[in-house]
Amino acid sequence: MCRHSLLLRGLVGLLLLASATVPGREPAASPPAAATVPARVGHVDLAICLDTSSSMNGLINAARTQLWDMVNTLAAAEPQPIFRVALYEYGNVGLAAETGWVRRVLGLTDDLDTVYKELMALGTNGGNEYVARVVTCATEDLEWSADRNALKIIVVAGNEAATQDPQIRHVDAARQAIGAGIVVNTIFCGDRAHGLQTGWAEVAQAADGTYAAIDQDRTFAVATPVDGRLTELGRLLNETYVPYGAAGREGAANQVAQDANAAHVAPAAAAQRAVAKSSGLYTNARWDLVDASRNTDFVLADVPAADLPEEMRTMTPAERRDHLERLGERRRKIQAEIQELAKEQRRFIEAERARRADKADASLDAALRESLTAQAEARGFTFERLESATAK
């Protein structure tokens, strides 16, 4: 539940109205110069807010397909960001009315497997879609990065008017977000003109974000010639993980489960997940000894023998270190092969995107990729541009 009372919100709303800018401006295509920070930063916090009312199955499926591609987009940034994701759902009649039918599914986390698990678990049901409420809750409830240069983004997607909330004005919610340094990008699932007429662009405009209209049932997932090998390498990566402690068994099982979920969604999603698992954004130090041992404050000798996998319990301390180093080296080799194949994958996808621009431009993939890269570049990140290969 959002922290501030509605009475306080009403007073804030009156103050915001008193200082409101002239209405009717066109939505910003990218963050204005005044909102950019020239310093190179490393923190990116992203809250994804999805409408889960009855008609939104296509949006949820698109998000399941495109999550790993979005991760890979940010993983290609220089410097590589410290990336966290939060997930909200709203507009579902099965949620609590007192929260405005908004639920925080997951707070900001770098545990991407858990994000995908929760995304896969979302269902739909009819309800009231309060865009202002979910933006307000994400603004107030999440523990956003304290780094003043962090890139903090709320992405809210849905297909009903953004003006429905009877207690919070949509532009007030947006202004509160940008006042806290949080950009709001809006994605309307439907006709662009209808989204403009129903407040979606106004939310983005008031929070220095971008507005996009998509066909929620149009998913741009391109199968490439290297997908099979990428998926196989993704499975081989799992063999280099060493579960430990109470979280180990659950973490390893969840890793395998999300491999299966991505493969069920689409072969392209499974391949993109494999690429994501080879990047620095995919880390599991909370349950994997190989990742944990890379942290300077981690002491392997402090891990109780009972928390180690059975095959390591009888090893000497030196043997344990050597075992983890060998697995770490094997992981790096697999990741390096994945990264080389990922370049071929990206060239093929870019060629397909250019060839099928009419379909690609109307997808969730395009809306997320274009806004995230533009806003990241405005904060000092750079992205390598690959020359496209001819699509086959």
Query: If residue 376 lies in a helix (H) or strand (E), which one and from where to where?
Result: helix 364-378
- Single-letter amino acid code for the residue at 46: L
Residue-level pLDDT at 300: 95
Q: How confident is the model at residue 200 (pLDDT cuts 50, 70, 90)?
A: very high
Over residues 201-218, the pLDDT tens digits come to 999 999 999 999 988 877
Stretch 30-41: mean pLDDT, rounded?
40
Q: For residues 300 and 2, which has the higher predicted lDDT (pLDDT)?
A: 300
> Which whole-number Å values give the CA distances from 286 to 107, 118, 203, 265, 291, in the listed order?
16, 18, 37, 27, 8
Q: For residues 17 and 103, which has the higher predicted lDDT (pLDDT)?
A: 103
Residue-level pLDDT at 42: 87
Q: Quote the pTM value.
A: 0.85
What's the token pair of residue 162? 């953004």
Residue-level pLDDT at 25: 35
The mean predicted confidence, pLDDT, of the chain is 87
The three-point CA angle 314-319-323 to 5° equals: 105
Residue 325: left if φ>0, alpha if ψ -120 to 50, beta else—which one? alpha
Stretch 338-358: mean pLDDT, rounded?
88
Interatomic CA distance for residues 178 and 347, integer angstroms? 36
Q: For residues 227 and 380, which has the higher predicted lDDT (pLDDT)?
A: 227
CB proximity list for 350: less than 8 A, separation 6 or greater:
386, 388
Stretch 321-344: mean pLDDT, rounded?
97
Over residues 221-253, the pLDDT tens digits come to 789 999 999 999 999 999 999 999 999 999 999
Q: For residues 333 and 69, which has the higher predicted lDDT (pLDDT)?
A: 333
Residue-level pLDDT at 392: 39
In the chain, the domains with their CATH numbers are: 29-214 (3.40.50.410), 227-350 (no CATH)
Over residues 9-31, the pLDDT tens digits come to 443 343 333 333 333 334 444 44
Please state which of the ranges 107-121, 124-138, 156-170, 375-389 shows the lowest mean pLDDT: 375-389
Stretch 250-260: mean pLDDT, rounded?
98
